[in-house]
């Protein structure tokens, strides 16, 4: 049994599918002499395809963003075309009989070792460029995450070093029952993806890819944070029984999709959904959401090889609106950076502190033409929503200062003026801010003079407040939404918004966590946005809790001085209020 961080509740038993083995455990089996020529041909074909991609992306990015942003692709193509690069790979295929993918990993290791020893920062940064090139070529050599080529049958447990956004998108077509990663925490990307799909998951399992191979039988216990590899038959049978109970409970809860979200004493709530795609919007409808509280537009960019133009964006936003409950959608502008990067914006992993650096609204401000294209597309889509009897709200991520809110308002006005002059139909939209930075939370009264609404992004707010990287398992014990400082700050923000009568939604992952939900309800929050999979369980929990219950539990929680003390209190209260939902709770870390 391996121990990790419980990040998405439930139990799953299935067959391991290791999707990140290209950098962890490449196939080192020697080629037969008869296969050398075909392996060389495979490498050359993959190299040419990668080169064609880089050239096409450079041209499109240069035309839509500028030459400076396109230079990264020129650098990558130069590396790809370097005779030494290809000569080494060919030599290892012919002389050492390595497969092309294994030769690429050896090349990456060799360059990484060489460049890491230099005192030149510029040369050290080239490691990430080489990794990007190796990854791009490898993608044309392997069938990773291509379900039609996947030889495994039945329920799959995805095992990875880390789950990147681009990989997460690919998971949508595979029957994944569980997720296990070496890195991450309760608010890491892998955790968010798992919860959005109701998949049991455990993160932060050190060395898991050394102990699990594709084809192994794996048990994932997302309540306790346990991972079992090839358990004995009686153990596997016991967990399969728990797995059946988990799915039965989810089916039972899904039946309440038509019921209104109300507390035990009749207080109406708004349960919205966080989504990444049209498929997520349809899932939100199926789960009984009343609207979309957060559409993360960055996934549109992450799934495009280059910049999506205005017409492409308008088409996607319209599709989202058409598929969403009540055609009510809050669209967040591009939130790239931290754990989500796109090379064509000139953004790489080279920053020392990417979560504190050039990301989100800061990046958008540096690309005003690119940013305005997105604003124009949202305003045009808002007109479409109005024609359907719905509405669009526009939200900006990582707002830190009043000056930034003033600036985004000016840019929205400019985008509307451009559309008016071009004779294109558009609609005015409420302009809101994503509250993720403690500085903005502390000065919430001043921010509310410029924001029509507020959405709390608790994932980033927690990590910034607690100074703990949410993707680092070494400090995940600090990155907890139920930490007393987090609760006190949220209580302050909610009271300020209610006093000014400004709409407020919590759309971070804590909105869908049963323990946090009770406290937020006690603080006065009435609008919650969460992964679609969590809506039925939160709706059921609300039916068991009165506002007075929640206020009393909050009063007691605010007196606790430790995370463990708050967790223990909430665990006891949930068992008392809704014992049938125990399978969907996560154990105290």
Burial of 153 (0-12, 13-18, 19+ CB in 10 A): exposed
pLDDT at 24: 42
What range defines the domain where residue 37 resides?
26-139
Asked whether residue 143 carries a pLDDT value surpassing 60, the answer given is no
Q: Are 10 and 44 found together in one domain?
A: no
Give, in order, the Cα–Cα distances in Å from 22 to each of 18, 57, 141, 567: 10, 24, 10, 39
**Distance (Å) of CA 167 to CA 170, 303, 347, 574:** 5, 10, 18, 35
Residue 149's pLDDT is 34
Enumerate residues 6+ apart whose C-beta is below 8 A from 411. Answer: 368, 371, 372, 375
Specify the range with the lowest mean pLDDT, choosing from 149-153, 446-450, 569-573, 574-578: 149-153
Predicted confidence at residue 21, as pLDDT, reads: 46
What pLDDT, in 10s, does the model give residues 10-64?
899 999 988 754 444 455 678 888 889 989 999 999 998 888 888 877 777 676 6
Residue 336 has pLDDT above 70, yes or no: yes
Predicted confidence band of residue 148 (pLDDT cuts 50, 70, 90): very low
Pick the most confident of 59-63, 144-148, 384-388, 574-578.
384-388
Task: Specify the pLDDT at position 568.
Answer: 93
Per residue in 103-118, pLDDT (tens digit) is 888 888 788 777 766 6
Confidence of residue 585 (pLDDT cuts 50, 70, 90): confident
Domain membership of residue 508 (yes or no) is yes
Q: What is the mean pLDDT of residues 542-563?
A: 96
Select, from the ranges 13-22, 62-71, 360-369, 411-420, the one with the highest average predicted confidence (pLDDT): 411-420
Residue 37 C-beta-side C-alpha neighbours within 13 Å = 1
DSSP conformational letter for 576: H
Instruction: Kindly report the CATH number assigned to the domain that includes residue 448.
Output: 3.20.20.60
497-533 residue pLDDT tens: 999 999 999 998 899 889 999 999 999 999 999 988 8
Which positions ≥6 away from 116 have C-beta within 8 Å?
124, 127
Last residue of a domain, one of 201, 222, 251: 251
Residue pair 128/349 in contact by the 8 Å Cβ criterion: yes
256 within some domain: no
Q: What is the pLDDT of residue 437?
A: 96
Least confident of 18-32, 288-302, 349-363: 18-32
- Structure-derived torsion over alpha carbons of residues 339, 345, 346, 350, reported in degrees to the nearest 10: 0
Number of domains in the chain: 3
Quick one: 268 and 243 in the same domain? no
Domain boundary among 139, 161, 193: 139
Residues 183 and 224 placed together within one structural domain of the fold: yes
Residue 258 resides in a domain:
no
Read off the tokens for 526. Answer: 């009435």
Asked, for residue 589, whether it belongs to a domain, the answer is no
Binned at pLDDT 50, 70 and 90, residue 84 comes out as confident
For the record, the structure tokens of 562 come out as 């430790």
Do 102 and 215 share a structural domain? no
Question: Distance between CA 39 and CA 44 in Å, rounded?
Answer: 9
Highest mean pLDDT among 123-137, 487-501, 567-581: 487-501
Same domain for 33 and 13: no
Region of poorest pLDDT, from 80-94, 152-166, 463-477: 152-166
- Residue at which a domain ends, from 121, 139, 157: 139
Catalytic residue among 189, 347, 367, 383: 189
In a domain, 240, yes or no: yes
pTM over 0.75: no
- Reported as a pLDDT band with limits 50, 70 and 90, residue 150 is very low
Answer yes or no: do 197 and 88 share one domain. Answer: no
Using 50, 70 and 90 to split pLDDT, how confident is the model at 186?
low
Q: Rounded to an integer, what distance in angstroms lies between the CA atom of residue 426 and that of residue 418? A: 11
The verdict on 177 and 214 lying in the same domain is yes
Does residue 111 sit in the same domain as residue 153?
A: no
Q: What is the pLDDT of residues 428-445, one digit of tens each?
A: 999 999 999 999 999 999
pLDDT of 124 reads 58
Summarised one tens digit per residue, pLDDT across range 206-217 is: 888 888 888 899
Q: Is the pLDDT of residue 402 over 90?
A: yes
- Count of positions (residues) in the chain: 589
What's the whole-number mean pLDDT along residues 360-376? 89
Say if 328 falls within a structural domain: yes
With a pLDDT cut of 70, the percent of the chain lying above it is: 84
Cβ atoms 328, 529 nearer than 8 A: no
- Report the CATH number that the domain containing residue 113 is assigned in CATH: 1.10.274.10
Least reliable range by pLDDT among 19-28, 348-357, 434-443, 454-463: 19-28
**Tell me, what's the pLDDT at 53?**
81
Given 18, 479, 497, 507, the catalytic residue: 507
d(CA 177, CA 197): 10
In this predicted structure, what is the pLDDT of residue 154?
Answer: 66
| Rounded CA separation 250/539 (Å) | 12
Q: What is the CATH number of the domain that holds 166?
A: 3.50.30.10
Average pLDDT over the chain reads 85
Let me know the angle formed at the C-alpha of 533 by 529 and 535, rounded to the nearest 5 degrees: 50
Is 586 part of any domain?
no
Which stretch, 78-87, 294-303, 448-457, has highest mean pLDDT? 448-457
Q: Are residues 279 and 424 located together in one domain of the fold?
A: yes
Is residue 144 very low, low, confident or very high in pLDDT (cuts 50, 70, 90)?
very low
Could you tell me if 103 and 93 are in contact, meaning their C-beta atoms sit under 8 angstroms apart?
Answer: yes
pLDDT value at residue 285: 92
pLDDT at 304 over 80: no
Q: Is 492 one of the catalytic residues? A: no
Question: To the nearest 5 percent, what fractions of the chain are helix, strand and coil?
Answer: 55, 15, 30
- 38/109 same-domain check: yes
Looking at the structure, tell me whether residues 391 and 540 fall in a common domain.
yes
Residue 247 above 90 pLDDT?
A: no
189 is an active site residue: yes
Looking at residue 135, its pLDDT comes to 77
The three-class DSSP label of residue 528 is strand
Q: Decide if pLDDT at 137 tops 70.
A: yes
C-alpha distance from residue 454 to each of 107, 267, 502, 529 (Å): 48, 21, 7, 12
Separation CA 517–CA 184 (nearest Å): 23
Work out the pLDDT band at 77, boundaries 50, 70, 90: confident
pLDDT category at 147 given cuts 50, 70, 90 is very low
Q: In percent, how much of the chain has pLDDT > 90? A: 46
pLDDT(130) > 50: yes
pLDDT given at position 118: 65
pLDDT over 50 (residue 318): yes
Q: How far is CA 523 from CA 199, 314, 495, 498, 565, in A?
A: 29, 38, 8, 10, 19
Same domain, 43 and 166: no
Cα–Cα distance for residue pair 392/196, rounded to 1 Å: 22
Which stretches does DSSP call E strand in 312-443?
328-332, 391-396, 431-435
pLDDT in tens, 255-264: 788 889 999 9
Within a 13 Å sphere around the CA of 277, how many CA atoms are in the beta-carbon half? 17
Instruction: Please state the rounded mean pLDDT for residues 224-247.
Output: 90
């Amino acid at each position: 049994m391996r121990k990790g961080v419980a990040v998405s509740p439930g139990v799953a038993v299935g067959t391991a599918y290791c999707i990140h083995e290209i950098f962890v455990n490449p196939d080192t089996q020697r080629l037969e002499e008869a296969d050398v020529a075909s392996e060389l041909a495979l490498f050359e074909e993959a190299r040419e395809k990668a080169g064609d991609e880089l050239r096409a992306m450079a041209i499109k990015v240069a035309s839509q963003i500028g030459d400076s942003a396109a230079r990264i692709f020129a650098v990558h193509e130069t590396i790809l075309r370097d005779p030494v690069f290809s000569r080494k790979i060919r030599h290892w295929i012919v002389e050492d009989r390595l497969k092309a993918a294994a030769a690429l990993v050896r090349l990456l290791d060799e360059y990484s070792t060489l460049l890491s020893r230099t005192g030149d920062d510029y040369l050290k940064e080239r490691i990430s460029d080489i990794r990007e090139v190796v990854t791009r070529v490898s993608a044309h050599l392997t069938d990773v995450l291509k379900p039609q080529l996947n030889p495994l049958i039945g329920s799959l447990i995805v095992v990875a070093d880390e789950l990147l956004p681009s990989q997460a998108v690919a998971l949508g077509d595979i029957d994944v029952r569980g997720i296990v990663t070496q890195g991450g925490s309760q608010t890491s990307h892998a955790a968010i993806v798992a919860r959005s799909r109701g998949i049991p998951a455990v993160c932060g399992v050190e060395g898991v890819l050394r102990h699990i191979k594709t084809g192994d039988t794996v048990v994932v216990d997302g309540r306790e944070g346990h991972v079992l590899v090839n358990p004995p038959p009686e153990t596997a049978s016991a967990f399969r029984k728990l797995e059946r109970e988990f799915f039965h409970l989810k089916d039972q809860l899904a039946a309440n999709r038509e019921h209104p979200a109300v507390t035990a004493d009749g207080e109406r709530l708004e349960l919205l959904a966080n989504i990444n795609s049209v498929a997520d919007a349809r899932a939100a409808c199926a789960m009984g959401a009343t609207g979309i509280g957060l559409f993360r537009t960055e996934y549109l960019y992450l799934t495009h090889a280059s910049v999506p133009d205005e017409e492409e964006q308008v088409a996607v936003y319209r599709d989202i609106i058409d598929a969403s409950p009540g055609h009510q959608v809050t669209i967040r502008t591009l939130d790239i950076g931290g754990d989500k990067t796109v090379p064509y914006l000139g953004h790489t992993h080279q920053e020392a502190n990417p979560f504190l650096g050039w990301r989100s609204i800061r990046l958008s401000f540096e690309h005003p033409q690119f940013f305005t294209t997105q604003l124009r597309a949202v305003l045009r889509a808002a007109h479409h929503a109005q024609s359907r009897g719905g509405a669009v709200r526009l939200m900006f991520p990582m707002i830190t200062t009043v000056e930034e809110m003033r600036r985004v308002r000016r840019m929205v006005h400019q985008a509307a003026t451009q559309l008016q002059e071009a004779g294109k139909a558009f609609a005015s939209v409420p302009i809101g801010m994503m509250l993720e930075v403690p500085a903005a939370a502390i000065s919430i009264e001043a921010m509310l003079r410029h924001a029509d609404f507020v959405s709390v992004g608790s994932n980033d707010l927690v990590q910034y407040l607690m100074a703990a990287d949410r993707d680092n398992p070494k400090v995940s014990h600090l990155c907890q939404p139920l930490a007393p400082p987090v609760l006190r700050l949220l209580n302050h923000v909610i009271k300020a918004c209610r006093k000014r009568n400004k709409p407020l939604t919590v759309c971070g992952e804590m909105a869908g966590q049963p323990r946090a939900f009770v406290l937020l309800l006690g603080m006065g929050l009435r609008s919650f946005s969460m992964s679609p999979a969590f809506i039925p369980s939160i709706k059921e929990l609300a039916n068991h809790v009165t506002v007075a219950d929640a206020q009393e539990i909050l009063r007691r929680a605010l007196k606790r001085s430790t995370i463990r003390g708050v967790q223990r209190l909430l665990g006891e209260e949930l068992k008392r209020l809704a014992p049938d939902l125990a399978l969907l709770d996560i154990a105290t870390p």
